Structure 1
Amino acid sequence: MNSPTPVGAGLDALAELAHTAPEHLVDRLQALATDVQLAYAPNTLRSWRADWRIWTAFCQEQGFPTLPADLPALRAFLDARIAQKRSRATLDHNLATLALVHRLAGLPWALDTLEGRLMWRGKRRSLPKRQAQASGLTLDLIERLQAPLAPGRPQDARDAALMGVAFESMCRISELVALQVDQLEVKPNGSGRLLIARSKTDPEGEGAVQYLSPATVLRLQHWLRLAGITEGPLFRSTPRSNQADRYARPLSARDIPRILLRRAAAAGVVLPRISGHSTRVGAAQDLLAADVGLPEVMRQGRWKTARMPVRYAEDLEAERGGMARLLATRQAQQAGLQSATMSDELDQGS
């Protein structure tokens, strides 16, 4: 092991990698550090660090070397993660990070071999075929969650604005908590334009402009006035103290699902799986239910492929599908025949 390598701010992931890398790889990792920082978003670097910590902790516990990762170590790692009931998406993310680390270090990746591919394919077949989907908070449900909130209470004002912004902008959690005051533009008609400065599908940072309704803009402006926020993050904590800096801490990604769960419980809304993505799922479902075309839904949600919005719309599509229409028609015909029969019987009885 080597002493920690000093690197620039935002490169904690590379610093930890260099700290646990074999001696002969440290110089290569140091040389790549600046380019990695420029090439990837901070959230991506943080996710790498989380994956790398999981891997190094496993290796230390089991006595495997961290680099390079050989096939027995990867097999044991995957078995341990599967035993912890980690999803396929989580395992894919863990392995993608390890594969990238090996490329950065100039090392061969065990899953590129035939033996590695066969091993991972066998593990995948043992996993559940479908990941549990977050329940959608549609516009009707969002309005139910907002209805009991008191505008004069800072936490209520914040949450009402947050839910409206999250739904209408279709922000991911990381995008929502990163929003800044200067990313909002209010138009003369009262509607708003929100600049999503960077997202995981926009690594170049070109940004996307999203529409906000006048009602949501008013809620957001009310919250900002109440909290005295004129710059910096839009959404912040609301401690009970009356200190001048009580609104200094921005919300984190962990706060969003807790807020939605609390507001749903207070409004009596019971859904199987409310998560921080529920507003995004619900917005996609509402758009598709309104016959907005899939390409436009993908543009609104900033998806590069149709896989996720199509998945979100499965219940809707099942209800609209051929079998549903056939059975609905059949039910209507039977109801019509039953009504006609009853009418005949009444006529005969009279």
Structure 2
Amino acid sequence: MLININHTAKEILIKTVEKIEGAYAPSTIRAYKSNFEVFIKYCDENNATALPAKPETVAMFIKTLSSHLKSSSIKIAVASIAALHNLNSLKDPTQHPDVKIEMRRMYRILGRYAKQAYGINKDLLDKMVAATDDSLRGFRDRAILLVAYDSLCRRSELVSLNVEDVLIENDAIKLKLRRSKTDPHGLGKNLYLSHDAQKTLKEWLDKSGISSGKIFRAITVTGKIRGSLNSSYIGRIYKKIAAKSNADSNVIKNISSHSTRVGAAQDLMISGASMAILMNRGRWSKTDTVMRYIEAVNL
């Protein structure tokens, strides 16, 4: 009987993912799916039903995860369980007092601190740009670095940009960001670039011959341009360029796809930008998120 119940949970998960396709960000859907699959596996191993789940099952799941995951990962896992229940009009077990108590216990043990990516500020950015060559990959990497820094784009936003989003006014280039994490309805926002970023972006498009579709694309070892660039590669690209620039090994270790966004925010704060300007430039909706980005700045 248990197997049939959890087999049904797997089917409901698949149908739910199909139902919310296009209504949620792809990264959110992937998180819901992967985390709930882990929860189903846990339930199978512990003779428990996954959907609908009992509060005591979720509480024990949290306790189990606390032995090997960070608090931020556990928070996402619990949010995924809540989402699957809510999206299927089932009672949310994560709202039960026992689950909330276990979450509080988990936070007291593990803490709430989320490790911040190392910021690629202007000084490091210049060194990394200088470390690129004049190969096709070099032109692409320079454009990625400079556009990402000027626009404060998240990795998903960066790889979503199309040639059709390049707007030219009075010989100046700006980009139209059609959709972002804090703009789910696609109202759009113009992204303004520095002279160097405009020049480098134009050089990449000219050298690559890309005239439509995605601006930033994967390049094979033989130099062939592919149709798109997976967002997961952005952090790897940054790390490789940082290594070429002879950056410190600890710096390279802590660089991620968010590093240009972090560094640009820190540089803006140092330059005297107000919180309102920072939030507008970075398209943040919460001040505490911005504060996490700039807290590492040594004034």
Q: Distance in 2 between matches of 1:258 and 1:142?
A: 15
Q: What residue identity is the alignment partner of 2:285?
A: K
**Which residue does 1:70 correspond to in 2?**
54
- Which of 148, 157, 178 pairs up with 1:166? 148
Identity %: 29
**CA separation of 1:223 and 1:63: change in aligned 2, threshold 3 A:** farther
**Which residue does 2:243 correspond to in 1?**
265
User: Alpha-carbon deviation of 1:38?
Assistant: 5.1
CA radius of gyration, larger in: 1
What is the SS of the residue equivalent to 1:315? coil
Does 2:259 correspond to 1:278? yes
Per-residue displacement from partner, 1:179-223 (whole Å, max 9, x unpaired)?
Answer: 111111133243x21111111111111111110122112211211
**Which residue does 1:156 correspond to in 2?**
138
What is the SS of the residue equivalent to 1:130? coil
Q: Distance in 2 between matches of 1:65 and 1:18?
A: 11
**Which residue does 2:67 correspond to in 1?**
83
- 8 Å CA contact 2:168–2:174 kept in 1: the answer is yes
Per-residue displacement from partner, 1:238-293 (whole Å, max 9, x unpaired)?
Answer: 11336xxx212411121011111111111012215111100000000000000011
> Normalising by structure 2, what TM-score?
0.89
User: Alpha-carbon deviation of 1:18?
Assistant: 5.9
Q: Distance in 2 between matches of 1:45 and 1:314?
A: 30
> Normalising by structure 1, what TM-score?
0.77
User: Alpha-carbon deviation of 1:115?
Assistant: 2.2
Q: Distance in 2 between matches of 1:98 and 1:80?
A: 15
Does 2:27 correspond to 1:43? yes
Q: RMSD value over aligned CA atoms?
A: 2.5
Does 2:228 correspond to 1:250? yes
Give the stretch that moved more between structures: 102-111 or 177-186. Answer: 102-111
- 8 Å CA contact 2:81–2:94 kept in 1: the answer is no
- 8 Å CA contact 1:186–1:217 kept in 2: the answer is no
Whose RCO is larger (CA < 8 A, sep 6+)? 2
- Which of 115, 124, 133 pairs up with 1:132? 115
Flag structure 1 segments of 5+ consecutive residues without an equivalent.
5-15, 320-350
Q: What residue identity is the alignment partner of 1:217?
A: Q
What is the SS of the residue equivalent to 2:296? helix
Q: What residue identity is the alignment partner of 2:107?
A: R
Per-residue displacement from partner, 1:84-131 (whole Å, max 9, x unpaired)?
Answer: 2x3322222221121111112222222222222222212221113412
- Which of 34, 54, 57 pairs up with 2:38? 54
Does 2:81 correspond to 1:98? yes
Q: Distance in 2 between matches of 1:291 and 1:129?
A: 29
Task: Tell me the number of residue pairs that the alignment of Structure 1 and Structure 2 aligns.
Answer: 293
User: Alpha-carbon deviation of 1:79?
Assistant: 2.6
